[in-house]
Amino acid sequence: MKIRINELQQALNKILEAIKQRNGETFEVDVEEDYYYHIPTDGIYKIGDIPTNLTIGSLADDIEEMKKISEGENYPTSTNLNKLNSILRYLGDNLI
């Protein structure tokens, strides 16, 4: 199984554009939660094993990091995908 980054980017752009078309160009989401459980990489794909080494993440921290990247204050790295993942998960669970 493989994923092309350009296909993933196109799909994400289309999803975000559809949300903006439904809700307006300057649509904002009120994030009413902050902390969430994060399953470290060494346990996330071991289906059948119950994760025991959960850590805590912060949506507020993740959102702040994305803002800094957006504004050019921080350099984007592949590890930022984990922070973006938590934000996208929240949006997927809470947008109707």
Residue-by-residue pLDDT tens, the chain, 96 positions: 999 999 999 999 999 999 999 999 888 999 999 999 998 888 788 888 888 889 999 999 999 999 999 999 999 999 999 999 999 999 999 987
CA 71 centroid distance within chain:
18
How many domains does the chain divide into? Answer: 1
Domain of residue 44: give its range.
Answer: 5-94
Question: What tokens does 65 get?
Answer: 């990091």
Dihedral of CA 56/60/14/93: which sign? positive
